[in-house]
Amino acid sequence: MTTTRADQPLGWQLDPLRLETQLRAFLTEDIGHLDLTATLMIDADASGRFVMRAREPMRLAGVTAAARAFTCYDPRIAVTLAAADGERVDAGAPLMHVAGPARSILTVERTALNLIQHLAGIATLTGRYVERISGTGAQLVDTRKTTPGLRMLEKHAVACGGGRNHRLGLDSGVMLKDNHIAVCGSIAAAVARARAQLPVLTRIEVECDRLDQVTQALDAGADVIMLDNMPPAEMRQAVSEVAGRALLEASGGVRLETIREIAESGVDFISVGRLTQSAPAVDIGLDEDTAPAG
């Protein structure tokens, strides 16, 4: 586990057993039976030294996972980390040094790079959103709009970028959306039914897209109220009405250009699906390490 601040641990999202299973599946997908090119072109006893570098400024995530991909495939590969998840690095910064059987290293190269480029892209974009709302008191959170199979890693990447995680899965909390409420008949009935059976430490969140629904959710005893696609003026009204009696989350269509105004409305959380849905991969490469060994 690495940290960026003493009060912000990183890595708790990464279940080591699940990570190991996922890495093996990723490698199997890419390699198939064997790496035909490396097997034909590189002697089994050939060794090599390589360095993974950032090719642009970025916020890091996936360093640990990428390093583990190498050693998971071949324990003879030695990886020395030069940076950690959560760090900001400049173009040209070394992220890790990889040494050992050249055939194995080149076989794993693409899987390791795919992982770290994608996850660091999420962390980098998350960091940009966090900077936009600095000083407002609002906190940036992610959503369940993640790539199937990569949620654990993508939510870890959001944390590396300075964001916070919303539900990791449907079992993490109760969120009553419009269809749940329609089936139950009303917000009051939905909250009452959930509250009667809820584990005692679990929160209930209610999605609202109108101010009258905010009043209903507050009266029903919701712990968190989501303001879904509300304009900032209505968000400010909701903040005034709720007056701290429930947490407020703004959601829906949030962009870098709009998040500051939303944060200044006084909401507690702002959820952004784009963090994991639309983050572009960053540029990271693995090159031969020509520096003197030492």
Does residue 268 have an active-site annotation? no
Cα–Cα distance measured from residue 105 to residue 125, given in angstroms and rounded to the nearest whole number: 29
**HSE-CB for 195 with a 13 A CA cutoff:** 13
42: how many CB neighbours lie within 10 A of its CB? 18
Which DSSP string corresponds to 120-152? Answer: HHHHHHHHHHHHHTTTSS-EEE--S---TT-HH
Indicate which residue of 110, 167, 195, 203 is catalytic: 110
Indicate which residue of 142, 207, 223, 249 is catalytic: 207
Cα–Cα distance measured from residue 246 to residue 39, given in angstroms and rounded to the nearest whole number: 61
- Distances from the Cα of 238 to the Cαs of 211, 215, 225, 228, 250, in angstroms? 7, 9, 10, 12, 11
Indicate which residue of 109, 205, 228, 268 is catalytic: 228
The tokens describing 253, both together, are: 């269509």
Indicate which residue of 88, 145, 193, 195 is catalytic: 145
Q: What do you get for the CA distance between the two ends of the chain, in Å?
A: 27
The tokens describing 208, both together, are: 């609202």
Indicate which residue of 18, 24, 76, 177 is catalytic: 177
Does residue 110 have an active-site annotation? yes
Does residue 155 have an active-site annotation? no
- Distances from the Cα of 110 to the Cαs of 90, 190, 238, in angstroms? 22, 48, 48
Residues classed as catalytic: 110, 145, 177, 207, 228
